Structure 1
C-alpha cells in the first residue's frame, strides 16, 4: 500500500514527530505575567499562597467562515437570533480578551471542522486549490495565523477534500493540527501531532505547563471512507485519552485541556456501524482522570459551561462548546495555586462571548479582501437559465420541479462518473431533500 497520497513527507517521519507531540518546542509562551498575577491568603499554616490565573479561548466548527457574509444570498449573514459569523469577528473578541488578561496569560485553540462549509473554503479546495503548484494560501490558514492560534484539533470535515488538501493546509498553518486518534493504518502511530504543551511564565519561578490534547471523530472512517480507507484509522476518544493524558501528566503538564471534535451527548448517528462513540466528550471527562477542561465540537450545540464529575477522582471537569461558524468564543478561566512544589488547578470555569457584539477586525478583513471578492464573483456567475420560476416553498409536502431538477443533475453526474467502468450499466437512483423553503430559481 502506498502512503504517498496520505502524507506530503512520509508517514514514518510524520509519526515519529507526532509520537513526541509538539512538546515545548517553538510554541512556548514567554514573558512575565501581568494582570493575571495574584497573591492569596495561602493554604495551611497561614503562609501566603502563590497564585496565577490564565485564560484559554476556544472556537469550533468554523466551517470556512472568515467574514460575516452569506455567499448564497450575497449579503451579510443574519438569522432569526441575529447571530454573526466569521473569524474577523472572533479576532476582535480575541484582541479584547488579550488586552484584558494580558496576551502572555492567554492561549487560543480550536476544536475542528475548519476548511469545509462555505463557498470560500470550496473555492480554495476545488477552483483555485491550495494544492496547485504555487497555489494560494488557504484563507482559513491566513486568518488563523494572523489571529494567533496556538493549536487546533482535526474535525471530520477536514478530510472531505482529501488528505493532500488537509496536509497542505497543515503545512500553511503556523500552529499544529492535533489528532491523537487519527492513526496511520499500517503503523497505528499518530498521523498528526497528538498534543502540544505550551509554557506560561509566572512571576514565581516555574512556568505553568499547559497541555492541549487533540481528539477527532471516529465517524471519519465512515463519512470519508473514500479518502481515508486503508490509509488511516480512528479509534475511540475514551481509549486514546486514557492513553495520552497520563503521559502528559508524567511529562510535567500542570493543566490538561482536551480539544475534542466530538459532542457531549454520548450518542452516535451511525448506530452500531462502529464500536466507537461519536459524541464522546462527556464520556472522556467522566472516565479519564487528569483532565481539567474539554473544548467540545462537532455537535453544533452551544454549551457555555457544563461540569462532568470524573468517576475515578470525583473531580469536576468543565466542558464548553461555543456556537458554530464563529458565532461564539469560549473562555476557560483557570485559577492556579502553588502547592507542594507544583501548580494545581484551584478553580476552573467557562463562559461564551457573542461575536455579534463587536465589529469585524479590519486587519483580517483587509488581509483577505481579495480572496473574498474572487469568491463573490465566482458564486454570482450565471450558470444557466430557467423558462419558469421554481420554488421550494411547497416542496416539503408535494412534488416540485425544483427537487426533480436536483435529482436529475445528481443522477446525470453520477452516471457520467461511472461511464466506462465496471458499474456503468447499473441504474442510478437519486434522492434530494428540501433543506430550505425559501430557495428558488427565477424565470
Structure 2
C-alpha cells in the first residue's frame, strides 16, 4: 500500500474548559478518530491554562496537579504551543504546568534572555508514523505579550518577532531533518482577510498569520488567539485551520501521503472542523475529579447577598448604553482600593450574568474571569477624552437603531474593549463622526480640564494600551495594587455583606442626535 492518511487534530484557546462541554467531550471524538485508518496526532495551540473559576482556584488555592494538564495527559496530547494567557498567573505556575505535562511545550520565539535559548527546549516536534512518514511541527507565539502581561510574570523572557524566527527555524528543520511535511502552529491569527488581503484590524503585530504564509517550505498553518473558525485548503499553497475556542470544535488537518520510490510526498490536504456530539470521556472526568471537587467547595462559598435585581445582567447592549449597578460596583471597588479620582472598567464577557440573591466566590469569578491587576495612571483630561472617544466608537447608528460597530465585531468580537468610566459624567452624540462624539465631560461638577492631570484606576492590560487604547500609554503609572481585581471584589463583598444595587456613578448620557 503506497498511500497513508495522517490526521493532525487540533484544539486552541480552550481557556480551561476541560470537563463536560469541553475537552472531555472532544476526547470522545478523538478516541473515535484514533480507531479509524491512518495516523493521529493531537496538538494544542495555546491558551489552555486560564479562563474558568476552577483554574483561578488551581493557580492560587490548590497544591494538586493542574486540572487542565491532567485532562490533556489523559487525552494523550503530543504537544502544546505556549499562548499569551499561559503567563496570566505568573511564570512559576506555567513552569509547574510544563513539568506536569507528559508532552512538550513549544515556542521558537519565546527565549531566555540569559542564553537566547527557546523557553522550554527544542521548539519543534518531529512526528513519525509507523510507515516512516515524518511531520515537523514548529511552535510560535504572538510577541505582543509584553504589552499585556504583568512585567513580573515574564521577567527574563525575550519575545522575538515570530515571522523571522519561524523562517529561520523552518530552514533549519528542512536542512537537518528533511521532513515529509512542515507545519507551523502559531498562537496568533490573521489581521487581514485571507483572500483579499484587506486589513481587518490595526497592524500592530498581534496577528501575523498572513506573513507566516509567505514562508517558503510550509505545508500547513495552525492558528488561534482570535477564537475564529477557519478552514482553508489552499492559501498560497498552504492549508490553514483555526478551531474556534473553549473546546467547542476540534480542528483536523488531513494529510494524504503517497510513496514514490523511497520518499513520501503529500498528494492532498484538507482542513476540517468537528463539533462534539458524544458524551464526555470518562477517562478525562476521572483524571480531573479530585481537582474539580476541591475547587467546587471553594467556589460555592457564600460571601454576600444582593437584595436587588438591579445587579443581574440581562441585556449587555443596553447595559453599555445606560450603565449598570454591577459596573458601578467595580468602579467603587477600584476607587476605594486606590484612592483614584476616576475609574475605568469593562464588561469582560457578553455572557456575564451579574449577581443574583446569593453571591458566591464562583459568581464573582464567572463575571470577572481574567486575573487582571489594578493600577493607577495619571492622565490628562485630553487623553481621557481620546480614550472615551475610542470606547464609544463601539456604537453604530443604523436607521435610528443603536447597534455594535463592525470594527468591534470583525475579525473577531471584541465587546470587552468597550469601557465604562466612573467618577466623571460625559455626554455622547451618535450622529457625530467617530472621534468627535463626546460633547461634554465633567468631574465633581466641573468641566474636565484638557490640560489638568487626573488619577485613574484601571486594569494593567488597559494601562499598557491593550484593546485598541494606545493613548493610555501616554499616562504615568503611579501605583500598583498587589491584588487581583477579582480578589478585591470578593473581599469588598465579604466586608459589605449586603449589596443594594445602587447606581453610584454618573457615567454616560447617550444621545442618538445632539438635538434630543
Deviation by residue 1:201-236 (Cα, 9 ceiling, x = unmatched): 21xxxx111111001111112111423555112222
Alignment of 1:400 onto 2:324 = yes
1:124 aligns with 2:50: no
**CA deviation map 1:406-431 (0-9, x unaligned):** 11123334x2xxxxxxxxxx736321
Whether contact under 8 Å (1:268, 1:278) holds in the other structure is no
Which residue is equivalent to 1:251? 176
1:169 aligns with 2:169: no
Following the alignment from structure 1 to structure 2, what is the Cα–Cα distance between the partners of residues 199 and 55?
12
1:327-346 alignment, distance < 5 Å: 327-339=248-260, 341-346=262-267
| TM-score, normalisation: structure 2 | 0.63
Deviations, residues 305-341 of structure 1 (Å, cap 9, x unaligned): 34211xxxxxx11001112111111111111122364
> 1:324 matched to which residue of 2?
245
Residues 1:62 and 2:14 aligned together:
yes
Q: How many residues in Structure 1 have an aligned counterpart in Structure 2?
A: 344
Shifted more, 426-435 versus 138-147: the winner is 426-435
What do the CA deviations read for 1:27-49 (whole angstroms, capped 9, x no partner)? xxxxxxxxxxxx3xxxxxxxxxx
Contact 1:63–1:114 at 8 Å: present in 2 too? yes
Q: Could you tell me which residue of structure 1 aligns to residue 228 of structure 2? A: 301
Equivalent of residue 227 in structure 1, options 136, 144, 152: 152
1:431 maps onto 2:344 in alignment:
yes
Offset of residue 164 of structure 1: 0.5
Deviation at 1:268, TM superposition (A): 8.9
Residues 24-423 of structure 1: pairs in structure 2 closer than 5 A: 39=1, 50-68=2-20, 85-102=21-38, 105-128=39-62, 135-192=63-120, 193-202=122-131, 207-228=132-153, 230-252=155-177, 253-266=179-192, 272=204, 277-285=205-213, 287-309=214-236, 316-339=237-260, 341-355=262-276, 357-389=277-309, 390-393=311-314, 394-413=318-337, 415=338
Asked if the contact 1:108/1:150 (under 8 Å) is kept, the reply is yes
Q: Write the distance in 2 (CA, Å) between the matches of 1:341 and 1:220.
A: 44
Worse-superposed segment, 371-380 or 105-114: 371-380
Matched-pair contact (CA < 8 Å) for 1:209–1:255: yes
SS, match of residue 279 in structure 1: coil
Please report the RMSD computed on the Cα atoms of aligned residues, expressed in angstroms. Answer: 2.1
Deviation of 1:436 (Å): 4.0
Residues 440 and 67 of structure 1: is their aligned pair in 2 closer, same or farther, counting only changes over 3 Å?
same
Which structure dedicates a bigger proportion of its chain to strand?
Answer: 2
Provide the TM-score with structure 1 as the length reference: 0.73
State the secondary structure of the residue aligned to 1:107: strand
Q: Could you report, residue by residue, the CA deviation over 1:367-423 in whole angstroms, capped at 9, with x for unpaired residues?
A: 22232233233222211123433233453222432211111123334x2xxxxxxxx
- After superposition, the Cα gap between the structure-2 partners of 1:428 and 1:380, relative to the gap in structure 1 and judged at 3 Å, is farther
Does structure 2 conserve the Cα–Cα contact (< 8 Å) formed by 1:221 and 1:228?
no
Using the alignment, how far apart are the partners of 2:103 and 2:130 within structure 1?
A: 20
SS in 2 for 1:233: strand
- Cα distance change on mapping 1:250 and 1:436 into 2, 3 Å: closer
For 1:404 and 1:247, locate their aligned partners in 2 and report how far apart those are by CA, in whole Å: 55
Counterpart CA distance in 1 for 2:340 and 2:153 is 27
* Unmatched runs of 5 consecutive residues or more in structure 2: 193-198, 358-516
Distance across 2 between alignment mates of 1:289 and 1:98: 31
Inter-CA distance 242–366: structure 2 relative to 1 (3 Å threshold): same
- The change in CA–CA distance for 1:96 and 1:147 in structure 2 (over 3 A counts) is same
Contact 1:153 1:216 in 2 (8 A): yes
What SS class does the counterpart of residue 397 from structure 1 fall into?
helix
Q: Is the 8 A contact 1:152 1:259 kept in 2?
A: no
Classify the secondary structure of the residue corresponding to 1:152. Answer: strand
Distance 1:227 1:86, change over 3 A: farther
Q: 1:395 to 1:154 in 2, by over 3 A?
A: same
Cα distance change, pair 380–107 in 1 and its aligned pair in 2 (3 A)? same
Q: Is the 8 A contact 1:392 1:436 kept in 2?
A: no
SS where residue 228 of structure 2 aligns?
Answer: coil
Structure 1 residue ranges without an equivalent (≥5): 1-38, 40-49, 69-84, 129-134, 310-315, 416-425
SS of the equivalent of 1:372 reads helix
Deviation at 1:433, TM superposition (A): 2.5
Structure-2 residue corresponding to 1:4: none
Cα distance between partner residues in 1 of 2:17 and 2:185: 20
Contact kept, 8 Å, 2:90 with 2:154, in 1: the verdict is no
Query: Residue 52 of structure 1: SS of its match in structure 2?
Result: strand
Q: What's the secondary structure of 1:95's corresponding residue?
A: helix
Distance 1:399 1:305 in 2: 41
